[in-house]
Structure formats: C-alpha cells, structure tokens
C-alpha cells in the first residue's frame, strides 16, 4: 500500500546537488482533503507552482541553478479520481528534462493509504 499525497508533502530530485527535500505545492480547488490538506493529482506537475527549485542541478554541465522542466507523473492511481484527475501516491514520480527523477520523501499525511 502507498500513502495518498497531499499539500504537506515533500519531494527530492536525484539531480539536486544538495539532495535536500523541498515542499510540494498542491493546487487548490479539488475540494478533496485528507487531514485538512488538499489531495494531489497528476495535474500538480507545474514547475515553480507545484515543484520549486532544488538549488543547484548537478546533472547540467557546468552545474547551474535548478529550473525544473517536468514530464507527466508516472504511477498515479487511475481508478482514484480527484476532480477527474488521477490521484498521486508516494510511489508517483516525475522525470526532469535534465535527467533527474523527482520522488516523494514524505506524503504529507499518514491516515489514507491506497492499495
């Protein structure tokens, strides 16, 4: 089972030089909450709005400030729709065009698991 992702979650990128988790922002408006936090969907993949900078990107040559250029989420839950979009779990990932993989370090809640 994997935990459902919500607005208090944290993410990391394999391309980050520091490797420090940052906050993941969920766009408001889905109307679905767990423990008072908005539930994340595949539409929450926008650079800066949902996924901020991870500092310095070690995958660019020479290393430069991180500016995420993201793909669609992988491993969402297609049968669990939030506002007509599949929900995310801690198994969901994003790939950056620089080559890094963005994954969830903490789901932001511990009460709802999806199996």
Task: Quote the pLDDT of residue 100.
Answer: 97
Comparison of pLDDT for 111 and 75, the residue scoring more: 75
Task: Quote the pLDDT of residue 9.
Answer: 96
pTM over 0.85: yes
Reply yes or no: is the peptide bond before residue 62 cis, omega within 30 of 0.
yes
In the chain, the percentage of residues whose pLDDT exceeds 70 is 99
Q: Rounded distance, CA 106 to CA 23, Å? A: 10
Exposed / middle / buried, residue 47 (Cβ in 10 Å: 0-12, 13-18, 19+):
middle
Mean pLDDT, range 60-75, rounded to an integer? 95
For residue 97, give the DSSP letter.
T
């Amino acid at each position: 089972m994997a935990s459902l992702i919500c607005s208090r979650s944290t993410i990391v990128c394999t391309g980050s030089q520091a490797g420090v988790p940052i906050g993941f922002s969920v766009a408001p408006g889905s109307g679905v909450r767990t423990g008072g936090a908005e539930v994340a969907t595949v539409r929450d993949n926008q650079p800066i709005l949902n996924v901020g900078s991870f500092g310095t990107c070690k995958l660019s040559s020479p290393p430069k400030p991180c500016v995420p250029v993201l793909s669609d989420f992988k491993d969402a839950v297609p049968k669990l729709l939030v506002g007509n979009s599949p929900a995310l779990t801690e198994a969901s990932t994003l790939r950056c065009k620089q080559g890094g993989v963005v994954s969830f370090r903490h789901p932001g809640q511990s009460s709802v698991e999806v199996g």
